[in-house]
Structure 1
Amino acid sequence: MYANYQELYMKKLTLIISCLLIASQSFAQLPNAKTTGRVTIKGTVIDFDTKEPLEYATVVVKPLNGDPITGDITNSKGHFNIEITPGNYDISIEFISFKPYELKNVAIVKSLNLGVIELAINAEALDEVEIVAEKSTVEIRLDKKIYNVGKDMTVKGGTASDVLDNVPSVTVDVDGTVSLRGSENVRILINGKPSSMVGLSGTDALRQLPADAIEKVEVITSPSARYEAEGTGGILNIVLRKGKAQGFNASVTATAGIPDNLGGSVNLNYRIKKFNFFTNTAYSYTNSPGNSYNNATYFNEFDEISSYRNEKTDYDRSGGRFNTRLGLEYFLTDKSSLTGTFYYRESDRNNISTNYTSEFDASKLLTRKSIRINDKDDVNKNIEYSLNYTHDFNDSGHNLSFDFQYNNDDENEFTFITDYDTYPSFLERNPERTTTVESDSEFTLKGDYVLPIGENAQFEAGFNLNLNEIDSDFLVQDYDPDSGDFINNPDFTNSLVFEQNIYAFYTQYGSKINKFSYLLGLRSETTDRSIQLLGDNTDNQKTWTELFPTVNVGIEFSETESLTVGYNRRLRRPRHFYLNPFETRTSETTIRKGNINLDPTYTGSFDIGYLKRWSKFTLNSSVYYSHSTNNIEWIQTEETRDVNGLPTIVIVRSPVNLSTQDRYGFEFTANYNPFKWWKLSQSFNFFRATTEGDYEGVNYDADNISWFTRFNSTVTLPGEIDWQTRAMYMGPSQNAQTKRLGIVSINLAFSKDLLKEKATISFNVSDLLNSRKRISETTTETTFSEGEFQYRQRQFLLNFTYRFNQKKKRERSQGNDGDGGEEMF
């Protein structure tokens, strides 16, 4: 990388110096320039995106007869003018970080005006320069889309969940569950690998990873064989920032918000000779109040109302979290490097949920009121070590890499539960306490080999070894008034040891023939899964081997129009909390538990994508279809249990391999830049899921049609104040038992650069209308319930960033903003 860095700038510096000397010589000979037979070459060089002139672009004119090279440098208006003798020439125009413009073997017999020449940004060259990117773009590749986080003011001071919720094709619901094209089974990777940064619970971990640490998100809807087969909906790969620039550069960020959100972060890197040190460190304290309610109506065997129960819960979540990521890159030679990374995260959170319950008879007369308080302390520690070795055999892409990673995630939860009646009389019940101790250790070793064949073909092969063990102890203790001590409750206490080892091999071959590209791959994965429960002597072990083919093809009709087609087969392995049959204790009448007998879901998917760019407008669209077997669904059943000495209907939700499912839909993202100061983007995703399945004599067939859309507007106001508005609407959806209403959410943000662009201050409002709530209705044979859940209330954030020795690239008003470039292979 260091060699490439030097090569890039030495090349540019040589061109500039050469052209300066050429220009000086030309001016020195100016009196003789009118010699008979001399002709001129002239033109204007501008930025393709901004349409502004490029000053100091180098123009090189090389005679093919061996005469000395001549050239010029553009002036402040982008103009150049060169005098030559008639003949055949190669002409090239270059500017740092832009793609060169070349004309080969041009016969010039008279003066030539090349007119306006537009140079486009070269993303690969930009990788060699440390620039604080401000624009958010989506690059189109044959097997993925890359969302560069860029200058997205609405996520300043936020988390990885906020970033993902702004990525096209992705939604994050009020629980924090991430969906890709409406499918919740999406595999989330960090820097291309499973990581403790996602942790035991991906939802909570993503809310702890700072947005400022993220460079880009890769949306992989048609994964090639290089990627693991997990995730039937696709893959989201979060790529973290790693500085590359020479010397020292850094940025410091401070955040303050209401409800309480206080924090700061530091991003820095220091590169000298063969070493590059980089880090991202952050601390924050947050308070996230939320609320929910669930009103249930119960029916008897004659389909008559027998009773009502209304539950309301207030959530008070607060706590601090500390994240640090340290990395050291050592350049062994010009062709090989070794990178070591250490990641540590610690959080200490307190979550108090207060459940208010009111019970009524069939005539809606109040019969009982009670309060149940869960006071939970949650301490989480994550440690991750990773080591990467990369060797480039040459500059054409022939390389070999190995990745080693070990991570450990320890999570300790202690909950104290109090329960008492307030009507018809006050009655305080014995308290209860629960303790959960979970430890997740994971070892990963992978290798990838890439061999270019000729100029347009490439062969790849690799392996992946993943060893994962999770120990989970769940202890429930009831207070014994006679002894004054807490004693274990064996009905709910359990211990689970989950082991899952995956052995994978893959190979793929790709080629580009004129405008046509293809990438064919095959992956084999063997899974060994073992589950041991406390007091369970049964053999809960399964082993299976599956093949996963992938096909991706593309056609470039022109530089502005392309079509891609993809097919892949993938699976969804049940995670350990889906398998653990322990029951939640937040409510005594609404319970969730796992299912130890779950099998994987298998899915085959097709995807057709179309991209078209105009001068100010870009359209990126796709149509997709998938068929799943052994589909995992959460179903709801009722049981009659003894609750506080009374027979009570308890609602139990658990996952089962319920059905087959056919899912299809279409999506598009449109970007329009009507003016230099105004950018608009709109994304829309429509999908339909048809589910067919029966469980224990109950039919759960369902036909769910839903959609979501996202609108984004960025306006530059007078005084160079940027104003961003982001609105999202998630349409209603349903399955066999539950209907969910639509959700609307609006975010606002304002940003201003200060101190000669060394600093930026921004203010944003998340969920302006305080409307980000899940409202649902559930119907079974004996109950009808309606509920509402809001994880986090409206939030106001003020963010300040100061940069040290970092160049800043201003936003470009461009016709393909939101798309970037496309790479077919």
Structure 2
Amino acid sequence: MKKLFYLTLIFSTITSVGIFAQSTDGDKKTPARIIGVAKDQNTGEAVPYATAALYKAGTEENIAGGVADDEGKFFITGMKPGSYTLKVSFLGFETQTVDNIQVTSPNGDVNLGDILMADEGVALEEVTVQGQRELIEERVDRTIYKAENDKTTAGGDGTDVLRRVPMLSVDLDGNVSMRGSSNITVLIDNRPSAIAASSITDALKQIPADEIKAVEVITSPSARFDAEGTSGVINIVTKKNNLQGMSLNVRTGTGLRGSDLGLNASARKGKFGFTLGGFGRAGYNVLGSFENNQVLTNPDNSISTISQSADTERTYMFGRYNFGVDYEIDKYNFLTGAVNFGIRNSKNSQDNFLTQNYLNGDLVRNALRETNSKDNSNSIDLSLNYTRTFEKKGKEISLLTLYSRDNRESSFINTLFNEDFQTIDSRLKNDNPSKNEEYTVQLDFVEPLGKDGKSILEYGAKNILRKSVSDFTYYQAEGADGEFVINPDPNISNAFNYDQNVTAGYVSYTATLFKNYTIKPGLRYEYTTINADFETEAAADIPSYGTFVPSVNLSRKMKNGNLIKAAYNRRISRPSMRYLNPNLDVSNPTQWSQGNPTLDPEYTDNYEIGYSTYFKETMLNFTGYFRNTTGSIQAVRTIQNDGVIFTTYENIGEEQAIGVNIFTNINISSKFSLNGSIETYYSMLDNGLTDPLYAASNQGFVVSGRMFGNYSLPKDWQIQLFTFARGSRVQLQGTSGGFAAYGLGINKQFNEKRGSIGFGADNFLSKEFTVRNEIVTPTIVQNSTNVMRNMNFKINFSYRIGKLSMDQRSRRKKSINNDDLKSGGDGNDMNQGGGATGVSNNK
């Protein structure tokens, strides 16, 4: 009944707004409208959802605007008789300007006909474009951030880009969340990656910012997407080309905290196209510290207090290399293939790791340690895809295949000193090699219906086979030179095998109702089977389960080009290896953690309504949402012997969040633009337990915001400023501290924009950031402080060799998207010391 209530409320709201808009016309004469159709000048096809902005002739005063429909047609109203200039823009196309538009009457239409838009790869060779292009584009089902127009990220990586995207939040460790949830699906060019399968955080760090064209935020995925991802889908679109000729681009950068080097080459001759690229990034001088204080109430009512402190240092090196080929067999048949390699090496150390134990206020123990951890991996993705099109526009069949593999070596050595803090007493070592493999095959059909082809039927099937292995072993050694000896306890030295098979089918239908309404209902069914066992124990008993996943998207297009949309969908979140991995992590001797191999998935219902509008030089978008999650995977903390806090995971509790997101883009002049957003949501969490020792609930507001400014200077100079801040985030048992980040960049292009050099500074007003976290339960009070030195100064350089010309053939590429694992957000999968999967099986 609750679902029905929310669906009824959303549909009633969207319908009433449409009726109100129609009633305002009444019997009055139709106000003056400027009408046009945006089309690709190379193919003659419509450019759906292009943005049209109207300016008073001879000025940069924006009067009105609108967004084209799925046939490229737009309407602009709200202007008085006079002379105007129109600018039409869309991602991947150069802005098209139409001058000397005369509106002679307050009523009637001014029909501009077809407005032909050139691919920006062609236009940049011929035209010098003045003014600022929009950074944000709003479509019916997604919000697009045009990252290629943001120069402050030069020399950075995908983490720097996502920090600027509306509705997303990225913390200081690179963990991504959408609307307060880290359970999201991340795709790269509409497909998964073994890199992202192991760690979203690491995947973003391996993608250079200069290679990201756009970021698409899909908050309400349709039935063709996998059911995974509570908050939605993020698709990172990298720069690709379908041009003829050869080109080589070189880019490099260096700074106080890191350096990078990248090479990308492209070649196309006739029906064949090739791409070859590589990127490496190294980080150093990433220094910091942490403090931890916890007060525990023991079973005998005595009070244990533990105080910890350490200096931290991190070094890392990432690399990503790719080769791709595509071949146009004939007019209707197309093949693509690609291979991607990824490597990472990360070292973390904690020096002067001091632990002090107190019992009822008396010091009972001092311990000094050093902890050194390594996290190294290599990955490979192999894909081969076939697409078949037909004479009938829009009809398509595609067969997609993907093999992904990620091998990881994770380990730590914990060194304990004697009471003199000089000589080594003992050493503890943990090795946790792991492997993740995915085999995916997918078949999709798209069938336009009716004479006009506006109604579209989509259906298909997909199968994903996952094989994961976690081999974990503990060793102990005496003194500085003693030999490491295996601890035979099967609870801490064992091997865990986890095989998962997901078979899915879906159907989705898109139709236009009452002329200006669009509805897209869909249904997806997924059946999951799991086999899990330990090397020295019996198999874990995990039953199979099937899941129906309904979705519906509604939109209402207003006469003035404004857009109202509403949506409902149900999502499933399968636990990733971060939550399942039974490897016991005791790198901090007072805080142990271990996964739970028998976890069930969690389910989420999402409701959303949004409105986009333009007035004068400003674009505004308002989105409200409600999210309800049952069977939520939550951390359970208990006190072990000697005051150790043990953390594992259970399917307990309920999460609810209700919030609003507002973002805007303002063109103050042809040289100066501002873009910003603010989000606030009220979070309500309850673990559903009745035992007063373990029952927990929490609620409160979370607020975040960002601002981006861009100013164009003479002679191809440009200056940009970015800032982001997030308040404390509500958690089930406490809060996670807020933080802020900012950056300033200046960029100069030269030699007909073939080369560029840039200078940047990040967080230059403060030496370090401090983040404070708190955990509160009936028996545990813990306060921790993490300090990270993020001040950075950098120099970036890039240069392009060669020249490409546009291939007039239109190529259609599709790929697999795997997106069905709950991600924890902090980095590892098979390794208990980190974070999050969230890769996607999408479609």
The bucket for the TM-score relative to the shorter chain is 0.7 to 0.9
Matched, 1:780 2:772: no
Structure 2 SS opposite 1:199: helix
Aligned counterpart in structure 2 of residue 311 of structure 1, from 308, 321, 324: 308
Structure 2 SS opposite 1:197: helix
* Higher alpha-carbon Rg: 1
Matched, 1:678 2:672: yes
The residue aligned with 2:356 is 359
Is the CA contact (8 Å cut-off) linking 1:605 and 1:627 kept in structure 2? yes
The residue aligned with 2:723 is 727
Offset at 1:796?
A: 2.1
The residue aligned with 1:710 is 706
Structure 2 SS opposite 1:541: coil
Is the CA contact (8 Å cut-off) linking 2:205 and 2:318 kept in structure 1? no
Is the CA contact (8 Å cut-off) linking 1:130 and 1:243 kept in structure 2? no
Aligned counterpart in structure 2 of residue 384 of structure 1, from 381, 386, 390: 381
Is the CA contact (8 Å cut-off) linking 1:573 and 1:600 kept in structure 2? yes
- Quote the Cα distance in structure 2 between the aligned partners of 1:345 and 1:149: 23
- Quote the Cα distance in structure 2 between the aligned partners of 1:503 and 1:238: 26
Matched, 1:183 2:181: yes
- Quote the Cα distance in structure 1 between the aligned partners of 2:736 and 2:145: 29
The residue aligned with 2:611 is 610
- Quote the Cα distance in structure 2 between the aligned partners of 1:126 and 1:719: 21
Offset at 1:161?
A: 1.9
The residue aligned with 2:500 is 500
- Greater mean deviation of Cα atoms: 129-138 or 764-773: 129-138
- Greater mean deviation of Cα atoms: 666-675 or 788-797: 788-797
Is the CA contact (8 Å cut-off) linking 1:99 and 1:119 kept in structure 2? no
Offset at 1:542?
A: 2.3
- Quote the Cα distance in structure 1 between the aligned partners of 2:388 and 2:41: 20
Is the CA contact (8 Å cut-off) linking 1:682 and 1:710 kept in structure 2? yes
Is the CA contact (8 Å cut-off) linking 2:716 and 2:750 kept in structure 1? no
- Quote the Cα distance in structure 1 between the aligned partners of 2:314 and 2:557: 51
Is the CA contact (8 Å cut-off) linking 1:737 and 1:779 kept in structure 2? yes
The aligned runs of 1:389-788 (5 Å cut-off) are: 389-394=386-391, 396-422=393-419, 428-453=424-449, 454-455=451-452, 456-479=454-477, 484-491=482-489, 492-513=492-513, 514-640=515-641, 648-695=642-689, 697=691, 698-768=694-764, 769-770=766-767, 772-788=769-785
- Greater mean deviation of Cα atoms: 665-674 or 377-386: 377-386
The aligned runs of 1:43-192 (5 Å cut-off) are: 122=117, 135=133, 137-192=135-190
Offset at 1:184?
A: 1.1
Structure 2 SS opposite 1:474: strand
Aligned counterpart in structure 1 of residue 243 of structure 2, from 220, 240, 245: 245
The residue aligned with 2:829 is none
Q: Structure 1 pair 270/136, CA: closer, same or farther in 2 (3 Å)?
A: farther
5+ long unaligned stretches in structure 2: 1-39, 46-51, 60-82, 86-92, 100-108, 806-843
The residue aligned with 1:73 is none
Runs of 4+ in 1 over 6 A off after TM superposition: 49-53, 98-102, 114-121, 127-134, 301-304, 362-365
The residue aligned with 1:93 is none
Higher relative contact order (CA 8 A, sep 6+): 2
- Quote the Cα distance in structure 2 between the aligned partners of 1:684 and 1:482: 54
- Quote the Cα distance in structure 1 between the aligned partners of 2:272 and 2:341: 22
Aligned counterpart in structure 1 of residue 791 of structure 2, from 791, 794, 798: 794
Q: Structure 1 pair 118/182, CA: closer, same or farther in 2 (3 Å)?
A: farther
The aligned runs of 1:27-46 (5 Å cut-off) are: none
Aligned counterpart in structure 2 of residue 268 of structure 1, from 257, 265, 269: 265
- Quote the Cα distance in structure 2 between the aligned partners of 1:525 and 1:52: 57
What residue identity is the alignment partner of 2:660?
F
Offset at 1:588?
A: 0.6
Offset at 1:203?
A: 2.1
Structure 2 SS opposite 1:536: coil
- Quote the Cα distance in structure 2 between the aligned partners of 1:212 and 1:625: 35
The residue aligned with 2:202 is 204
The residue aligned with 2:106 is none
Offset at 1:649?
A: 0.2
- Greater mean deviation of Cα atoms: 775-784 or 689-698: 689-698
Structure 2 SS opposite 1:804: strand
Offset at 1:617?
A: 0.1
Aligned counterpart in structure 1 of residue 254 of structure 2, from 256, 271, 279: 256
Can you list the C-alpha shifts for 1:538-582, whole angstroms capped at 9, x where unaligned?
433321111111100101113431100101011110002201222
- Greater mean deviation of Cα atoms: 179-188 or 535-544: 535-544
- Quote the Cα distance in structure 1 between the aligned partners of 2:707 and 2:481: 62
Offset at 1:49?
A: 7.8
Offset at 1:732?
A: 1.7
Can you list the C-alpha shifts for 1:7-47, whole angstroms capped at 9, x where unaligned?
955989xxxxxxxxxxxxxxxxxxxxxxxxxxxxxxxxx99
Q: Structure 1 pair 657/593, CA: closer, same or farther in 2 (3 Å)?
A: same
Is the CA contact (8 Å cut-off) linking 1:560 and 1:614 kept in structure 2? no
Offset at 1:209?
A: 2.5
What residue identity is the alignment partner of 1:281?
G
- Structure-1-length-normalised TM-score: 0.80
What residue identity is the alignment partner of 1:233?
S
Can you list the C-alpha shifts for 1:418-471, whole angstroms capped at 9, x where unaligned?
111455x65632212221211111111112211112322111111111111111
Offset at 1:693?
A: 2.6
- Quote the Cα distance in structure 2 between the aligned partners of 1:538 and 1:484: 36
Q: Structure 1 pair 526/682, CA: closer, same or farther in 2 (3 Å)?
A: same
Q: Structure 1 pair 354/303, CA: closer, same or farther in 2 (3 Å)?
A: same
Offset at 1:678?
A: 1.2
Aligned counterpart in structure 2 of residue 294 of structure 1, from 280, 285, 292: 292
Can you list the C-alpha shifts for 1:738-796, whole angstroms capped at 9, x where unaligned?
12333222222221212232211122223333554431122223332211224562222
Is the CA contact (8 Å cut-off) linking 1:692 and 1:701 kept in structure 2? yes
Is the CA contact (8 Å cut-off) linking 1:414 and 1:436 kept in structure 2? yes
Q: Structure 1 pair 48/198, CA: closer, same or farther in 2 (3 Å)?
A: same
- Quote the Cα distance in structure 1 between the aligned partners of 2:666 and 2:542: 54
The residue aligned with 1:349 is 346
Structure 2 SS opposite 1:694: coil
The residue aligned with 1:39 is none
Structure 2 SS opposite 1:675: coil
Q: Structure 1 pair 300/241, CA: closer, same or farther in 2 (3 Å)?
A: same
Determine what percentage of the aligned residue pairs are the same residue: 26
Is the CA contact (8 Å cut-off) linking 1:685 and 1:709 kept in structure 2? yes
The residue aligned with 1:320 is 317
Can you list the C-alpha shifts for 1:568-613, whole angstroms capped at 9, x where unaligned?
0111100022012222132110122111221111011111010001
Q: Structure 1 pair 734/284, CA: closer, same or farther in 2 (3 Å)?
A: closer
Is the CA contact (8 Å cut-off) linking 2:410 and 2:431 kept in structure 1? yes
Is the CA contact (8 Å cut-off) linking 1:624 and 1:665 kept in structure 2? yes
- Quote the Cα distance in structure 1 between the aligned partners of 2:607 and 2:44: 44
Is the CA contact (8 Å cut-off) linking 2:471 and 2:494 kept in structure 1? yes
What residue identity is the alignment partner of 1:704?
G
Offset at 1:681?
A: 1.4
